[in-house]
Amino acid sequence: MRLLIQRVAHASVTVEGSAVGRIDRGYLILLGVTQGDDHATADRLCDKLVKLRLFPNDDGKFDRSVLDIAGGVLVVSQFTLYGNPKKGNRPSFTDAAPPDLAEPLCAYVVEALKQRGVVDVQAGVFGADMQVELLNDGPVTLMLDSDTL
């Protein structure tokens, strides 16, 4: 599982011209699921995510978590995080989990973040053609990968 985390001043996701998720200050999470991921994988990454200190304190140092600032999280599924462009010019997506595994795990991540105290958790629509808008704050972008945690 991969979480591409972007600290945002605000972010939204639109499907067919309608906003389906919108947050103010917090994280935009692009979420990729791979073969073999499960609830334990999601729990480990969610535990890490809510404790990450990527928001500045009064001295400008990264010292506050999304929980500390009562921030939101917008979760957008993105199988392309497992795209492999090694051969040729068209990436292979064989490392991405099939929808019957990925969709319930994406929904599980949303619920797991709520259970960990995130005040505003929003999500895109799994498998939809989505347009994501964000104002990256910093910019601050970080990748969490279950293979390296």
What residues have CB less than 8 Å from 63, skipping those under 6 apart?
53, 55, 56, 57
Four-residue CA torsion sign, 39, 41, 47, 52: negative
CB atoms < 10 A from the CB of 96, how many?
21
* Catalytic residue ranges: 80
